[in-house]
Amino acid sequence: MLLLTLRGTPTLYYGDELGIGRVAIEPEAMQDAWEKNEPGLGLSRDPSRTPFQWDDTRNARFTNGRPWLPLDPNCRTCNAETLRNDATSILTLYRSLIAIRRSHSALVKGAFRLIGVQEDTIIYEREDRGQRVLVCLNFGEQEARVSAADDLSGAIVLLSTRLDRSGPSTDLALRPQEGLIVLIPS
C-alpha cells in the first residue's frame, strides 16, 4: 500500500501480485550465472525468478515444455487464475490499489503531508485540487488508534489491506499489519 500511495512510479516485482516468495531451488537446478561461477555464496537470483504461475495446470501454463526453474510448490493454489477469483487475495488487493490510484489524482500527483508517526504507525495525507486522501499504515503486531487533527466525520474508507471494510467510517482503529486509504470530505 505504501508504494502505491506515494508520488512517483510504483514498482512491483515479478510475482509480488501473487505473493510468490523465494522458492527453494536445489543447487544442481540453479541457472543464474553468478551462482554457477561462485556456487554456495547464496547470491543466486533464481529463487526470486521462478516461472510465472498462470493457472493450476501442468507447469502453471507457463510452458508446454520443461521450465528452466522449478515452480513454487504452492502453484496449484497460488496462481493468477485462482487468485483473480478470490475476493480476499493479494492479487485482488493489488488490483484494487491500482484502481484507487488511477481514480484519485491526489495519490498520483498530490502534495504529501506527514500527519504523524507513532510507534509502528505512519499516517500521511495526499491532496490535489481539494481531493484529500488519508493513508494510515500499521506495521506493528498490536491494534493502533489513528488520531488525525481534522474532523473525520464523513470520511470514507476506500480500502483496507485486509479487503474487509470500506465505506463511511470515523473509526480508524488499525488492526495489526493493516493499512487504510481514507477519502476525507472537502
Q: Return the SS3 of 30.
A: coil
Give the pLDDT confidence of 111-132 residue by residue, as tens digits.
Answer: 999 999 989 999 999 999 999 9
Q: What is the mean pLDDT of residues 101-112?
A: 96
Question: In this structure, which long-range contacts are made by residues 160-169, counting pairs with CB atoms below 8 Å and at least 24 apart in sequence?
Answer: 161/1, 161/93, 162/88, 163/87, 163/88, 163/92, 163/93, 163/96, 164/88
Find the domain containing 147 and state its range.
3-7+105-184
Q: Does residue 124 form part of some domain? A: yes
Q: Does residue 95 form part of some domain? A: no
Domain count, the chain: 1
- The CATH number linked to 152 is 2.60.40.1180
Provide Rg for the chain, Cα atoms. 20
What pTM was computed for the model? 0.86
Q: Show Cβ contacts of residue 70 under 8 Å, excluding neighbours closer than 6 positions.
A: 23, 25, 26, 29, 50
H/E stretch holding 97 reads helix 90-103
Q: Does residue 118 form part of some domain? A: yes
Which residue type occupies 23? Answer: V
Give the pLDDT confidence of 133-162 residue by residue, as tens digits.
Answer: 999 999 999 999 877 666 777 889 999 999
Statement: residue 41 has pLDDT above 90: no
* 181 closest CA partner among 116, 65, 98: 98
Q: How far apart are CA 182 and CA 174, in angstroms?
A: 12
Q: How far apart are CA 169 and CA 157, in angstroms?
A: 6
Q: Does residue 151 form part of some domain? A: yes
Q: pLDDT band at residue 34, thresholds of 50, 70 and 90?
A: confident
